[in-house]
Amino acid sequence: MTQLTDLGVAAIREGVAKGDFTAVEVAGAFNAAAAAAQDALNAFITLTPEKALEAAAAVDADRAAGKALGKMAGVPIGMKDLFATMGTKTTAASNILGNFVPPYESTVSQKLWDAGAGMLGKLNLDQFAMGSSNETSAFGNVISPWRREGSDAQLAPGGSSGGSSAAVSARIAPAATGTDTGGSIRQPAAFTGISGIKPTYGRCSRWGIVAFASSLDQAGPMARDVRDCAIMLEAMAGFDPKDSTSLDMPVPEWEANLNADLRGKKVGIPREYRMDGMDADVARVWDEGIAWLKDAGAEIVDINLAHTKYALPAYYIIAPAEASSNLARYDGVRYGLRDLPPKESAKGAGLQDMYAATRAAGFGAEVKRRIMIGTYVLSAGFYDAYYTQAQKVRTLISRDFMDAFQTVDVILAPTAPTAAFGLGEMVSDPLAMYLNDVFAVPASLAGLPAMSVPAGLDRQGLPLGLQLIGRPFDEQGVLDAGLAIERRAGFTARPAKWW
Amino acid sequence: MSDYRIQGATGEWEVVVGLEVHAQISTQAKLFSGAATAFGAEPNTQVSLVDAAMPGMLPVPNMECIRQAVRTGIAINAQINKWSRFDRKNYFYADLPQGYQISQLYHPIVGEGAIEVQLDDKNPESTKTIGIERIHVEQDAGKLMHDQHPTMSYVDLNRSGVALMEIVSRPDMRSPAEAGAYLAKLRTILRYVGSCDGNMDQGSMRADVNVSVRRPGEPFGTRTETKNVNSVRFVMAVVEQEAKRQVALIEDGGKVVQETRLYDPDRNETRSMRSKEDAHDYRYFPDPDLLPIELDDAFLEECRASLPELPDAKRHRYETALGLSAYNAGVLTAEVETSRWFEALLAASAAKQGKPEGDVAKQAANWLTSELFGALNKLGKSLADSPVSPEAGGELLALVGKGTISGSAAKQVLEKMLETGDAPGVIVEREGLTQTSDTGAIEAAVDAVLAANADKVEQYKGGKEALFGFFVGQTMKAMQGKGNPQLVNEVLKAKLG
């Protein structure tokens, strides 16, 4: 028998339903794998083996009782530690929420539990989802299970959903939730050779997800393949009256409608994404992707996304602006860390002193940097030059996409400009780190569904991903094109187990 | 319009006033959370996860609050913006859990409007139109309590997230009286509309008072803003004191600084709270958690149709259709409860007399404003806790109108009604106050009086007509006060030729 931890969502669900194995056996196998990998990979902030077993036992009992099983029945998953989980510590990888235990469950996690999934634990991430390498976590770096050929240098699993990408690629979770604000699902998926989709903005409720940048944040699944992503996204998505920006639309049957036949479809190739000095392997894989989609029956069309080069600067104004405001609530007054400076006078420390000490101790350097950038761009006298201008750029970027989608059905581009980089290689240069999001950010600004699928390896044996960007609400088109690539890429590489 | 002037050492000064009124919207639930809004609950018992700004919590607009703001806008003849948006006003304070207040800076829901105020009750011509720049909807903050513990402050978040309308006037007022009249009229309108209960002592309505002074006809001076003034009287006092202070300051060679001030009612003075130098930079930007509010015509039409008759229209109708005096019309429409009481009284009285309302309105208005108000005043009661209901009042008025009792008997009946709560008919029976309209009985009484006073009859016929009152008195006395005075008069006139 194959190892249970080699199975993905669909295979586990099927095996449990058929009785090939029990959900408890599956949960046990992944619990063991997660625990064994924890010291080496640091993928989890909190392990919750008992939660995984509890959910699995309930599924087994339901099956024994002949009850209908949910979409995710018997599948234990990792939960990014940005989703509030009732009774389980939810840290956002920060000190300020280091011991925060929510008295409520996020909508998306609740939907997954309702569908029969169980929780292996809370996954590490970049602090408040701010980062592209998982090096900003207050709970330590996540170490990618991947290594360059002939090297044991530690690599970044991508970010901010770095715990999720590491766990899925290391086979210590069959799937995991991610959140994507400017590439935080797609880039780590690409870095670790797995699939991940950020649906249309509003598909998944943001209720109960610790906010980074409200107009951009969107939850999505990260899994071994396209089908698993489709299954899990169906379980996660859906209208939520508790989120004003939630889409009031039915959730399509993405899994049942998967179709890799792209005859009659047009795929756009944006010229602006082919940058000078582009990594040769990335360019090669992109060309291969074009060939595969052609082979699947699609017509390839060159398109212009003229404002692409402004996307990154606009993103790094809008996202920090929203973050500076969203993170104001972490003030030490009601919950989370409170730090009172020592009394310097008989009067004692005041409210301002408490704010300053709490936030200084509670936030990491990258979070502070973004709060300061965001505060600056919203300040009197700078607002129009930065925030208003960035919003105009955002509108133009959306318009570029809408114009392109007059002609094409889906857009193909690289997910990231490079393969995974080494831990510590970029931390001293935030701008270089931000540039890693260059291909991911435009779809985020436009709120479009976009996914990364593994497409090949670079010359050092590291995974490279291809990105598919679709029309608003057309997750199906994205998944279908992703499936067409998946079938032709034949990506079977996986990290050799060194941990 | 106003000739209110401050007499300074160097000449006359004019005061310029604008008000920003915060009115709590009367709804069961808060603006963006389902939490309750009742006044006076135990601290922190009306706080949802959203109000406490827990991680990942999101605001969802309460459309009833939007509806009430729109109804208010329509009531002040304002532009209603079919597209509006919420912005975040960012600042740190312990009573502000989110670290920002959700408000509307750039695109308020209600634009330009105006209300008309009357400066002198007795003079219908003394009106002035005060412009309203905008109404926007925003969240209230919580409350800090500094006196509960020696070294700590306590926070009560019950009020956090409660919906407010901020109603911003133009700087159109020129005297304490105009500012007072504006606030009182605004309160009246809000209470008619039902969008705010206007309870200033509970903080449901409070005003930030912007005051500056200038030489008449010159450009505006630098203004100060006195925060959270919670009565009409205090607003008038703030305008007066602040104008005087500014004049004295300028005349002493000083300069008014733009600053926030507080009013101390005990000392009747304003004090500096913080100056512009340490003013916050609120970093307003559109709230990305909320979609713009888009209103359609059907919604606006429903808001319009749901409005009651408003005070100005009602007052006009009382004067024209009901024939009331301008003064009475003003008094009866100043409070929505008074007009409701009056209209119930009028309906009951007209029904019981089988007459159109217009025929009995003056009687009802006079009785209410002079008799009942006077009597309640003596008892220290208001109309709201009057022991006499509008229906009982209407019955009393009908007894007078139909001639069953005299006007003077009606006063006695009212006293008994206030004492006992009994119905007027019961009291009239018990006290034997029914007046006699039996012409036979009256004629007999008159005959007896004339016969007994033949000498005076002679004098009367000889030209001493003042004696007529004597005959009336004697007749009434003979009838123990129960004779219908009008009939007594008529019979006497006939018999005396």
Walk me through the domains of chain B, giving residue ranges and CATH numbers.
Answer: 6-302 (no CATH), 309-431 (no CATH), 439-496 (1.10.10.410)
ipTM: 0.96
Please, are residues B80 and B304 in contact by the beta-carbon 8 Å criterion?
no
pLDDT of A348: 65
Chain B, residues 94-133, CB within 8 A of chain A, namely: 94, 97-100
In DSSP notation, B150-205 reads SS--EEE-TTTT-EEEEEEE-S-B-SHHHHHHHHHHHHHHHHHHTS----GGGTSE
The reported pTM is 0.91
Other beta carbons within 10 angstroms of residue A264's beta carbon come to 9
Please, are residues B127 and B118 in contact by the beta-carbon 8 Å criterion?
yes
- B285:A387 CB<8 A: yes
Buried b (16+ CB within 10 A) or exposed e, A411-448: bbbbbbbbbbbebebbbeebeebbbbbbbbbbbbbbbb
- A333:B155 CB<8 A: yes
The counts of H helices and E strands in chain A are 16, 11
Chain B residues whose beta carbon lies within 8 Å of the beta carbon of residue A208: 56-57
Give B146's DSSP letter: -
Spatial neighbors of B7 by CB under 8 A, at least 6 apart, are: B13
pLDDT of B278: 62
CA A45-A51-A57 angle, 5° bins? 155
pLDDT of B277: 57
Please, are residues B73 and B307 in contact by the beta-carbon 8 Å criterion?
no
- A245:B289 CB<8 A: yes
Hey, CA dihedral for B24, B29, B30, B32, is it positive or negative? Answer: negative
Nearest to A329 among B99, B284, B285 (CB): B99
pLDDT band, very low/low/confident/very high, at B488 (cuts 50, 70, 90): confident
Tokens representing residue A233 in the block: 């996204």
Inter-chain contacts counted by CB atoms under 8 A, chains A and B: 101
**Interatomic CA distance for residues A472 and A493, integer angstroms:** 32
Q: Which residue of B has its CA nearest to A335?
A: B54
Give A211's DSSP letter: P
Q: Which residue of B has its CA nearest to A100?
A: B55
pLDDT of A345: 60
pLDDT band, very low/low/confident/very high, at A238 (cuts 50, 70, 90): very high
Give burial (CB, 10 Å; 0-12/13-18/19+) of A308.
Answer: buried
Please, are residues B442 and B483 in contact by the beta-carbon 8 Å criterion?
yes
Catalytic residue among A71, A80, A111, A265: A80
Find, among A216, A103, A245, A247, the residue nearest to B60 by Cα: A245
Tell how strand B83-84 and strand B205-214 pair up.
unpaired
pLDDT of B463: 86
Chain B residues whose beta carbon lies within 8 Å of the beta carbon of residue A106: 56
- B283:A324 CB<8 A: yes
Please, are residues B293 and B85 in contact by the beta-carbon 8 Å criterion?
yes
pLDDT band, very low/low/confident/very high, at B379 (cuts 50, 70, 90): very high
Tokens representing residue A336 in the block: 């989370």
Nearest to B289 among A104, A244, A331 (CB): A244
Tokens representing residue B394 in the block: 């209407």
Please, are residues A430 and A455 in contact by the beta-carbon 8 Å criterion?
no
Contact of B403 with chain A, judged by CB distance below 8 Å, is answered with: no
Q: From the candidates A179, A326, A383, A394, which should be mutated to test the interface with B, based on the most B CB atoms within 10 A?
A: A326
pLDDT of A63: 98
Chain A residues whose beta carbon lies within 8 Å of the beta carbon of residue B88: 325
What proportion of chain A, given as a percentage, has pLDDT over 90?
A: 94
On the question of pLDDT at A413 being above 80, the answer is yes
Tokens representing residue B488 in the block: 């007594």
CA A164-A167-A170 angle, 5° bins? 145
Tell how strand A463-470 and strand B6-8 pair up.
unpaired
Buried b (16+ CB within 10 A) or exposed e, B463-477: eeeebeeebbebbbe
Q: From the candidates B33, B47, B48, B54, which should be mutated to test the interface with A, based on the most A CB atoms within 10 A?
A: B54
Tokens representing residue A295 in the block: 């082979």
Chain A residues whose beta carbon lies within 8 Å of the beta carbon of residue B284: 378, 383
**Interatomic CA distance for residues A464 and A454, integer angstroms:** 6
Domains of chain A are 1-499 (3.90.1300.10)
**Residue for token pair 């009285």:** B349
Hey, CA dihedral for A25, A9, A285, A217, is it positive or negative? Answer: negative
Active site residue A184: yes
Q: Which residue of B has its CA nearest to A387?
A: B285
- Taking only Cα atoms into account, the Rg of chain A, rounded to an integer number of angstroms, comes to 22
Active site residue A160: yes
The model's pLDDT over B95-126, given as tens digits with 9 standing for 90+, comes to: 999 999 999 999 999 999 999 999 887 787 88
What proportion of chain B, given as a percentage, has pLDDT over 90?
A: 76
Active site residue A368: no
Contact of B49 with chain A, judged by CB distance below 8 Å, is answered with: yes
The model's pLDDT over B5-61, given as tens digits with 9 standing for 90+, comes to: 999 999 999 999 999 999 999 999 999 998 988 888 999 999 999 999 999 999 999
Contact of B34 with chain A, judged by CB distance below 8 Å, is answered with: no
Tokens representing residue A27 in the block: 């949960």
Chain A residues whose beta carbon lies within 8 Å of the beta carbon of residue B99: 325, 327-329, 331
pLDDT band, very low/low/confident/very high, at A263 (cuts 50, 70, 90): very high
pLDDT of B484: 83
Spatial neighbors of A15 by CB under 8 A, at least 6 apart, are: A7, A21, A26, A74
Which CA distances in Å does B357 have to A273, B303, B327, B353, B370?
81, 29, 19, 10, 19
Other beta carbons within 10 angstroms of residue A461's beta carbon come to 16
Chain A residues whose beta carbon lies within 8 Å of the beta carbon of residue B63: none
- List beta partners, residue B274: B260
What's the one-letter identity of residue A122? K
Q: From the candidates A125, A207, A329, A352, which should be mutated to test the interface with B, based on the most B CB atoms within 10 A?
A: A329
**Interatomic CA distance for residues A242 and A235, integer angstroms:** 18
Spatial neighbors of B244 by CB under 8 A, at least 6 apart, are: B6
Please, are residues B18 and B204 in contact by the beta-carbon 8 Å criterion?
no
- B57:A207 CB<8 A: yes
Q: From the candidates A244, A335, A355, which should be mutated to test the interface with B, based on the most B CB atoms within 10 A?
A: A244
pLDDT of B276: 56
**A160 upstream amide cis, omega within 30 of 0:** yes
pLDDT of B433: 79
What proportion of chain A, given as a percentage, has pLDDT over 70?
A: 98
The model's pLDDT over A436-454, given as tens digits with 9 standing for 90+, comes to: 899 999 999 999 999 999 9
Chain A residues whose beta carbon lies within 8 Å of the beta carbon of residue B97: 329, 333-334
**Interatomic CA distance for residues B169 and B126, integer angstroms:** 20
**Interatomic CA distance for residues B232 and B19, integer angstroms:** 12
Nearest chain A Cα distance for residue B165, angstroms:
21
3-state secondary structure A424-456: CCCCCCHHHHHHCCCCCHHHHHHCCCEEEEEEE
Task: Kindly report the average pLDDT of chain B as a whole number.
Answer: 93
Chain A residues whose beta carbon lies within 8 Å of the beta carbon of residue B54: 84, 102, 104, 334-335
Nearest chain B Cα distance for residue A123, angstroms:
17
The model's pLDDT over A107-141, given as tens digits with 9 standing for 90+, comes to: 999 999 999 999 999 999 999 999 999 999 999 99
